[in-house]
Protein backbone atom coordinates (compact mmCIF):
# COMPACT_ATOMS: atom_id res chain seq x y z
CA UNK A 1 0.00 0.00 0.00
CA UNK A 2 2.77 2.43 0.91
CA UNK A 3 4.49 1.89 -2.44
CA UNK A 4 1.23 2.69 -4.25
CA UNK A 5 0.76 5.83 -2.15
CA UNK A 6 4.27 7.06 -2.94
CA UNK A 7 3.91 6.31 -6.65
CA UNK A 8 0.49 7.95 -6.90
CA UNK A 9 1.64 11.05 -5.02
CA UNK A 10 4.48 11.39 -7.55
CA UNK A 11 2.02 10.84 -10.43
CA UNK A 12 -0.31 13.60 -9.20
CA UNK A 13 2.45 15.90 -7.97
CA UNK A 14 1.58 16.16 -4.29
CA UNK A 15 3.40 15.50 -1.02
CA UNK A 16 0.77 13.13 0.36
CA UNK A 17 -1.42 10.33 -0.95
CA UNK A 18 -3.58 8.28 1.40
CA UNK A 19 -4.90 4.99 -0.01
CA UNK A 20 -8.32 3.78 1.09
CA UNK A 21 -11.00 1.23 0.30
CA UNK A 22 -13.08 3.15 -2.29
CA UNK A 23 -13.68 6.47 -3.96
CA UNK A 24 -16.62 7.03 -1.61
CA UNK A 25 -14.31 6.45 1.35
CA UNK A 26 -11.81 8.92 -0.15
CA UNK A 27 -14.48 11.64 -0.30
CA UNK A 28 -15.58 10.97 3.28
CA UNK A 29 -12.02 10.86 4.60
CA UNK A 30 -11.08 14.07 2.81
CA UNK A 31 -14.10 15.93 4.17
CA UNK A 32 -13.40 14.74 7.71
CA UNK A 33 -9.75 15.70 7.36
CA UNK A 34 -10.74 19.16 6.11
CA UNK A 35 -12.75 19.62 9.29
CA UNK A 36 -16.23 19.53 7.78
CA UNK A 37 -18.76 19.35 10.61
CA UNK A 38 -22.49 19.24 11.26
CA UNK A 39 -24.31 22.21 9.83
CA UNK A 40 -21.63 23.19 7.32
CA UNK A 41 -22.88 23.95 3.83
CA UNK A 42 -21.06 22.30 0.95
CA UNK A 43 -21.67 23.21 -2.69
CA UNK A 44 -21.51 20.44 -5.30
CA UNK A 45 -22.91 19.92 -8.80
CA UNK A 46 -26.45 18.61 -9.08
CA UNK A 47 -25.20 16.30 -11.84
CA UNK A 48 -22.76 13.87 -10.23
CA UNK A 49 -22.64 10.36 -8.85
CA UNK A 50 -24.51 10.11 -5.56
CA UNK A 51 -21.36 9.33 -3.55
CA UNK A 52 -20.35 13.00 -3.71
CA UNK A 53 -23.48 14.08 -1.83
CA UNK A 54 -23.53 11.04 0.47
CA UNK A 55 -20.07 11.89 1.82
CA UNK A 56 -21.27 15.38 2.74
CA UNK A 57 -24.30 14.04 4.59
CA UNK A 58 -22.17 11.44 6.39
CA UNK A 59 -20.28 14.37 7.96
CA UNK A 60 -23.55 15.91 9.14
CA UNK A 61 -23.13 18.73 6.64
CA UNK A 62 -25.70 20.05 4.17
CA UNK A 63 -25.23 19.55 0.40
CA UNK A 64 -26.04 22.64 -1.65
CA UNK A 65 -26.82 21.52 -5.19
CA UNK A 66 -25.61 23.83 -7.97
CA UNK A 67 -26.46 23.63 -11.66
CA UNK A 68 -23.73 22.75 -14.14
CA UNK A 69 -22.22 24.84 -16.90
CA UNK A 70 -23.82 24.28 -20.30
CA UNK A 71 -20.48 24.06 -22.09
CA UNK A 72 -18.28 22.07 -19.68
CA UNK A 73 -20.97 20.04 -17.83
CA UNK A 74 -19.05 20.75 -14.61
CA UNK A 75 -20.25 22.89 -11.70
CA UNK A 76 -21.13 26.46 -12.72
CA UNK A 77 -18.88 28.74 -10.62
CA UNK A 78 -21.24 31.68 -11.13
CA UNK A 79 -24.03 29.88 -9.29
CA UNK A 80 -22.08 28.80 -6.19
CA UNK A 81 -23.48 30.68 -3.17
CA UNK A 82 -20.95 32.96 -1.51
CA UNK A 83 -21.73 31.74 2.01
CA UNK A 84 -20.95 28.02 1.63
CA UNK A 85 -18.12 26.59 3.72
CA UNK A 86 -16.57 24.66 0.86
CA UNK A 87 -17.01 23.38 -2.69
CA UNK A 88 -16.62 19.94 -4.27
CA UNK A 89 -16.01 20.48 -7.98
CA UNK A 90 -16.47 17.21 -9.88
CA UNK A 91 -14.28 16.79 -12.95
CA UNK A 92 -17.17 15.42 -14.97
CA UNK A 93 -16.34 12.67 -17.46
CA UNK A 94 -12.67 13.71 -17.44
CA UNK A 95 -12.96 17.46 -18.12
CA UNK A 96 -11.52 19.61 -15.33
CA UNK A 97 -13.89 22.05 -13.65
CA UNK A 98 -13.02 25.78 -13.68
CA UNK A 99 -10.99 25.71 -10.46
CA UNK A 100 -9.53 29.19 -10.91
CA UNK A 101 -13.03 30.69 -10.84
CA UNK A 102 -13.94 28.67 -7.75
CA UNK A 103 -10.77 29.48 -5.80
CA UNK A 104 -11.58 33.14 -5.21
CA UNK A 105 -13.09 33.00 -1.73
CA UNK A 106 -11.91 31.91 1.69
CA UNK A 107 -13.28 28.38 1.51
CA UNK A 108 -11.83 24.95 0.93
CA UNK A 109 -11.94 23.05 -2.37
CA UNK A 110 -12.11 19.26 -2.53
CA UNK A 111 -11.61 17.96 -6.07
CA UNK A 112 -13.72 14.92 -6.92
CA UNK A 113 -11.31 13.46 -9.46
CA UNK A 114 -12.83 9.97 -9.61
CA UNK A 115 -13.44 10.32 -13.36
CA UNK A 116 -10.33 12.27 -14.31
CA UNK A 117 -7.14 10.31 -13.63
CA UNK A 118 -4.24 12.15 -15.24
CA UNK A 119 -6.21 15.25 -16.22
CA UNK A 120 -4.68 18.66 -15.56
CA UNK A 121 -5.37 22.39 -15.64
CA UNK A 122 -2.66 24.91 -16.38
CA UNK A 123 -0.01 22.22 -16.15
CA UNK A 124 -1.09 21.03 -12.68
CA UNK A 125 -2.63 17.60 -12.23
CA UNK A 126 -6.09 17.25 -10.74
CA UNK A 127 -5.88 16.32 -7.10
CA UNK A 128 -3.02 18.79 -6.63
CA UNK A 129 -4.89 22.05 -7.28
CA UNK A 130 -7.49 22.21 -4.50
CA UNK A 131 -6.97 21.69 -0.77
CA UNK A 132 -7.41 17.95 -1.35
CA UNK A 133 -8.45 15.51 -4.05
CA UNK A 134 -10.42 12.26 -4.01
CA UNK A 135 -9.86 9.49 -6.55
CA UNK A 136 -11.65 6.21 -7.25
CA UNK A 137 -10.08 3.02 -8.59
CA UNK A 138 -13.34 1.20 -9.21
CA UNK A 139 -13.29 -1.34 -12.03
CA UNK A 140 -14.65 1.09 -14.64
CA UNK A 141 -12.10 3.85 -14.00
CA UNK A 142 -9.01 4.66 -16.09
CA UNK A 143 -6.74 3.31 -13.35
CA UNK A 144 -8.59 0.43 -11.72
CA UNK A 145 -7.85 -2.08 -8.99
CA UNK A 146 -11.32 -3.60 -8.63
CA UNK A 147 -12.14 -1.28 -5.76
CA UNK A 148 -10.14 1.39 -4.00
CA UNK A 149 -9.61 5.10 -3.54
CA UNK A 150 -7.00 7.75 -2.77
CA UNK A 151 -6.93 11.11 -0.99
CA UNK A 152 -4.27 13.53 -2.26
CA UNK A 153 -3.12 16.75 -0.61
CA UNK A 154 -0.15 19.06 -0.12
CA UNK A 155 -1.41 19.89 3.37
CA UNK A 156 0.43 17.69 5.87
CA UNK A 157 -2.15 18.33 8.59
CA UNK A 158 -4.97 17.18 6.32
CA UNK A 159 -2.94 14.11 5.36
CA UNK A 160 -2.30 13.15 8.98
CA UNK A 161 -6.00 13.52 9.79
CA UNK A 162 -7.05 11.42 6.78
CA UNK A 163 -4.65 8.64 7.81
CA UNK A 164 -5.96 8.80 11.37
CA UNK A 165 -9.61 8.48 10.36
CA UNK A 166 -8.80 5.76 7.80
CA UNK A 167 -7.58 3.25 10.41
CA UNK A 168 -10.26 3.44 13.12
CA UNK A 169 -8.66 6.55 14.60
CA UNK A 170 -5.77 4.63 16.16
CA UNK A 171 -2.72 6.59 17.31
CA UNK A 172 0.14 5.63 14.90
CA UNK A 173 2.60 5.60 17.83
CA UNK A 174 0.48 3.69 20.35
CA UNK A 175 -1.32 0.42 19.60
CA UNK A 176 -5.03 0.19 20.40
CA UNK A 177 -5.15 3.83 21.50
CA UNK A 178 -7.80 5.72 19.54
CA UNK A 179 -7.68 9.49 19.19
CA UNK A 180 -10.92 9.88 17.21
CA UNK A 181 -13.91 7.80 16.15
CA UNK A 182 -12.56 6.58 12.84
CA UNK A 183 -13.47 4.13 10.10
CA UNK A 184 -12.22 0.91 8.55
CA UNK A 185 -11.29 2.45 5.21
CA UNK A 186 -7.96 0.71 4.66
CA UNK A 187 -6.88 -0.51 1.22
CA UNK A 188 -5.64 -4.09 0.93
CA UNK A 189 -2.12 -4.88 -0.29
CA UNK A 190 -3.65 -6.91 -3.11
CA UNK A 191 -5.63 -3.94 -4.40
CA UNK A 192 -2.56 -1.73 -4.08
CA UNK A 193 -0.44 -4.18 -6.08
CA UNK A 194 -3.00 -4.08 -8.89
CA UNK A 195 -3.09 -0.29 -8.66
CA UNK A 196 0.70 -0.09 -9.00
CA UNK A 197 0.63 -2.25 -12.12
CA UNK A 198 -2.16 -0.14 -13.57
CA UNK A 199 -0.34 3.09 -12.80
CA UNK A 200 2.70 1.86 -14.72
CA UNK A 201 0.46 1.31 -17.75
CA UNK A 202 -1.28 4.69 -17.55
CA UNK A 203 0.56 6.30 -20.50
CA UNK A 204 -0.61 3.48 -22.77
CA UNK A 205 -4.14 3.68 -21.38
CA UNK A 206 -4.28 7.42 -22.05
CA UNK A 207 -2.99 7.08 -25.61
CA UNK A 208 -5.42 4.28 -26.42
CA UNK A 209 -8.42 6.14 -25.03
CA UNK A 210 -7.51 9.37 -26.80
CA UNK A 211 -7.27 7.56 -30.15
CA UNK A 212 -10.70 6.00 -29.67
CA UNK A 213 -12.18 9.38 -28.68
CA UNK A 214 -10.69 10.98 -31.79
CA UNK A 215 -12.32 8.27 -33.89
CA UNK A 216 -15.71 8.81 -32.25
CA UNK A 217 -15.54 12.56 -32.71
CA UNK A 218 -14.58 12.28 -36.36
CA UNK A 219 -17.28 9.72 -37.22
CA UNK A 220 -20.07 11.40 -35.27
CA UNK A 221 -19.25 15.02 -36.04
CA UNK A 222 -22.42 16.97 -36.75
CA UNK A 223 -24.64 14.23 -35.34
CA UNK A 224 -23.98 14.38 -31.60
CA UNK A 225 -22.32 16.96 -29.34
CA UNK A 226 -19.30 15.84 -27.38
CA UNK A 227 -18.01 17.46 -24.22
CA UNK A 228 -15.25 19.93 -25.15
CA UNK A 229 -11.81 18.39 -24.74
CA UNK A 230 -8.36 19.86 -24.26
CA UNK A 231 -4.88 18.39 -24.35
CA UNK A 232 -5.12 18.26 -20.55
CA UNK A 233 -8.49 16.52 -20.17
CA UNK A 234 -8.83 12.79 -19.48
CA UNK A 235 -10.83 10.39 -21.63
CA UNK A 236 -12.87 8.32 -19.18
CA UNK A 237 -16.07 7.75 -21.17
CA UNK A 238 -17.24 8.99 -24.55
CA UNK A 239 -19.98 11.26 -23.25
CA UNK A 240 -22.16 13.00 -25.83
CA UNK A 241 -25.51 14.73 -26.27
CA UNK A 242 -27.99 13.30 -28.75
CA UNK A 243 -30.06 15.56 -31.01
CA UNK A 244 -32.80 17.41 -29.12
CA UNK A 245 -35.57 15.31 -30.66
CA UNK A 246 -33.94 11.95 -29.82
CA UNK A 247 -35.14 9.67 -27.04
CA UNK A 248 -31.90 8.67 -25.27
CA UNK A 249 -33.51 5.72 -23.46
CA UNK A 250 -34.90 4.35 -26.71
CA UNK A 251 -31.56 4.82 -28.48
CA UNK A 252 -29.78 2.99 -25.66
CA UNK A 253 -32.28 0.13 -25.84
CA UNK A 254 -31.85 -0.23 -29.61
CA UNK A 255 -28.07 -0.27 -29.29
CA UNK A 256 -28.18 -2.87 -26.52
CA UNK A 257 -30.19 -5.18 -28.78
CA UNK A 258 -27.29 -4.90 -31.22
CA UNK A 259 -24.70 -5.76 -28.56
CA UNK A 260 -23.60 -2.24 -27.61
CA UNK A 261 -23.93 -1.31 -23.95
CA UNK A 262 -24.15 2.39 -23.12
CA UNK A 263 -24.85 4.30 -19.95
CA UNK A 264 -27.04 7.33 -19.30
CA UNK A 265 -25.79 10.60 -17.85
CA UNK A 266 -26.14 11.06 -14.10
CA UNK A 267 -29.66 12.39 -13.41
CA UNK A 268 -29.75 15.50 -11.19
CA UNK A 269 -29.61 14.36 -7.57
CA UNK A 270 -32.45 16.74 -6.77
CA UNK A 271 -34.80 14.58 -8.87
CA UNK A 272 -34.10 11.42 -6.85
CA UNK A 273 -35.94 10.29 -3.69
CA UNK A 274 -32.75 10.47 -1.60
CA UNK A 275 -32.23 14.19 -2.30
CA UNK A 276 -35.51 15.29 -3.87
CA UNK A 277 -36.04 19.03 -4.03
CA UNK A 278 -38.86 20.26 -6.21
CA UNK A 279 -37.64 23.85 -5.85
CA UNK A 280 -34.14 23.15 -7.20
CA UNK A 281 -33.27 25.29 -10.22
CA UNK A 282 -31.00 23.01 -12.27
CA UNK A 283 -32.30 23.28 -15.86
CA UNK A 284 -28.95 22.52 -17.50
CA UNK A 285 -28.43 19.35 -15.48
CA UNK A 286 -31.97 18.25 -16.38
CA UNK A 287 -31.39 18.88 -20.09
CA UNK A 288 -28.07 17.03 -20.10
CA UNK A 289 -29.62 14.04 -18.34
CA UNK A 290 -32.43 13.94 -20.90
CA UNK A 291 -30.14 14.00 -23.94
CA UNK A 292 -26.92 12.47 -22.67
CA UNK A 293 -25.49 9.06 -23.43
CA UNK A 294 -22.05 7.55 -22.76
CA UNK A 295 -20.52 5.30 -25.39
CA UNK A 296 -18.08 2.47 -24.59
CA UNK A 297 -14.47 3.53 -24.13
CA UNK A 298 -11.79 1.18 -22.87
CA UNK A 299 -8.48 -0.29 -23.99
CA UNK A 300 -9.86 -3.70 -24.87
CA UNK A 301 -11.60 -1.99 -27.80
CA UNK A 302 -10.05 -1.99 -31.27
CA UNK A 303 -10.77 0.80 -33.77
CA UNK A 304 -13.17 -1.55 -35.58
CA UNK A 305 -15.16 -1.88 -32.35
CA UNK A 306 -15.53 1.89 -32.08
CA UNK A 307 -16.55 1.98 -35.75
CA UNK A 308 -19.25 -0.60 -34.97
CA UNK A 309 -20.50 1.52 -32.05
CA UNK A 310 -20.74 4.53 -34.37
CA UNK A 311 -22.62 2.53 -37.00
CA UNK A 312 -25.11 1.29 -34.41
CA UNK A 313 -25.63 4.73 -32.90
CA UNK A 314 -26.29 6.24 -36.32
CA UNK A 315 -28.70 3.41 -37.04
CA UNK A 316 -30.51 3.85 -33.73
CA UNK A 317 -31.00 7.54 -34.43
CA UNK A 318 -32.72 6.95 -37.77
Give φ, ψ of 212 to 5 degrees. Answer: -65, -40
Tell me the C-alpha distance between 58 and 17, whole Å.
Answer: 22
Do 188 and 228 fall into the same domain?
A: no
3-class DSSP state for residue 126? coil
pTM: 0.96
Q: Residue 158: what pLDDT?
A: 98
* Total number of domains in the chain: 2
Residues 154 and 281 in one domain: no
Q: How confident is the model at residue 300, as a pLDDT? A: 95
83 secondary structure, DSSP code:
T
Query: Could you say which residues of the chain have pLDDT below 70?
Result: none
pLDDT value, residue 58: 98
Domain that holds residue 24: 2-200
pLDDT of residue 106: 80
Predicted confidence (pLDDT) per residue in 204-242, tens digit? 999 999 999 999 999 999 999 999 899 999 999 999 999
C-alpha span between 178 and 289 (Å, rounded): 44
Last residue of a domain, one of 134, 168, 200: 200
User: For residues 75 and 89, is the Cβ–Cβ distance under 8 A?
Assistant: yes
Q: How far is CA 162 from CA 13, 40, 69, 89, in A?
A: 18, 19, 31, 20
Q: Are residues 170 and 225 in the same domain?
A: no
* Phi, psi dihedral angles at 45 (to 5 degrees): -70, 145
Amino acid sequence: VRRFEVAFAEFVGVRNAIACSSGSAALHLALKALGVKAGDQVALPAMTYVATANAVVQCGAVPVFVDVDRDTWCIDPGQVPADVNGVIPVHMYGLVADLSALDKCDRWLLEDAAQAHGAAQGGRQVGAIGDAGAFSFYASKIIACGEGGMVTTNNDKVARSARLYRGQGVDPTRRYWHEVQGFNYRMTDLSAAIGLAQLEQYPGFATCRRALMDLYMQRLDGVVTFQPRTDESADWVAACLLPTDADSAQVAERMLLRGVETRPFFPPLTTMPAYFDSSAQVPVARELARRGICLPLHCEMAPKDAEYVCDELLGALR
